[in-house]
Structure 1
Amino acid sequence: MGILSALFGQSTNQLAEYIEKGAIYLDVRTEKEFNTNHIKTAINIPLQELNYRVDEIKKTNKPIIVYCASGMRSANATSFLKQNGIDAINGGGISKVRNAIFK
C-alpha cells in the first residue's frame, strides 16, 4: 500500500471490490459528525472507542470499509483493524466513499 492510499484511501477500483463483497461501512468520526451526515448503512464507532469495540467488528465477519472526514482517522483505524486480523481498507473521506457507492 502506498503512502498516499494509506493516508487518503484506496483506489475507486478497490472500493468497488469491497462494495461488491458486501463490506460494512465503518464511520470513525465523532457521533456529532455522524449525526450530521453519514452513509445510510454505516456503523459509527468513533476512533477513540475502536480499541474497546473491536470484538463487535470481528463478529460481523465481513470486510470493512473505514471512512472519516478526510482519510486521516480512517487510516489509523484501518491499521488498527488489520493488526487485529480484520479485513479492512481505508475508504478515505466520506465523499470519496459515497462517490464509489453511487458510481
Structure 2
Amino acid sequence: MFSLFKRIPSMSTADLQKEGAKEWTVLDVRTPAEYRSGHIAYAKNVPLNKIAGFTKKGDKKLAVICQSGMRSKQAAKILNKKGFDVVNVRGGMNQWRGTTKGGK
C-alpha cells in the first residue's frame, strides 16, 4: 500500500556516539546560539530554517540532531523529500552523553 507519510528512520545518541564521525555527517539544526552553547565536535551547524538549501558533500550517511529530537525530525523529513538518505537522532542533545565542544 502506498503511504503518504514516509517514516524517517531514527537512531539513539548512543548509536551515533559508537559510529561517530567515521560513518556519519552530523547536521545540528539548532540555532547558531544553541550550537555555540555546546555541540558534538564533528557536527555541522545548519539551522532548521536553512536546511532546505543544504547540499551534501561526500558519501557519508546523514544524521540530524537538535535539542530534543523535534526539529531534527522536521529537518529529516525535508532532507528525505530532497532525496537524501537521512536518520533522525532521537532525544537530541538532551540525551547526548559524549564530549561536546563550545559552551561552558
TM-score surpassing 0.5?
yes
Q: Could you tell me which amino acid in structure 1 is paired with residue 93 of structure 2?
A: I
Task: State the superposition RMSD in angstroms.
Answer: 2.7
Closer, same or farther: CA 51–95 of 1 in aligned 2, 3 Å: same
Indicate how the Cα distance of structure 1 residues 47 and 37 shifts in structure 2: closer, same or farther if over 3 A, else same.
same
CA distance in 1 between counterparts of 2:39 and 2:49 reads 18
Contiguous gaps of at least 5 residues in structure 1: none
Which structure features the higher share of helix residues?
Answer: 1
Specify the code of the residue in structure 1 equivalent to 2:28: D
Matches of 1:10 and 1:72, distance apart in 2: 14
Partner of 2:65: 67
Question: Could you tell me which residue of structure 2 aligns to residue 94 of structure 1?
Answer: 93
CA contact (8 A) 2:52 2:79 kept: no
Larger radius of gyration: 2
Displacement of 1:25: 1.1
Q: TM-score, normalising length from structure 1?
A: 0.71
Consecutive unaligned residues of structure 2, counting only runs of 5 or more, are: 1-6, 100-104
Alignment correspondent of 1:83: 81
Q: Percent identity?
A: 35
Partner Cα separation in structure 2 for residue 61 and residue 23 of structure 1: 9
Cα offset, 1:59, TM superposition: 2.3
- Distance (Å, rounded) in 1 between the aligned partners of 2:65 and 2:16: 11
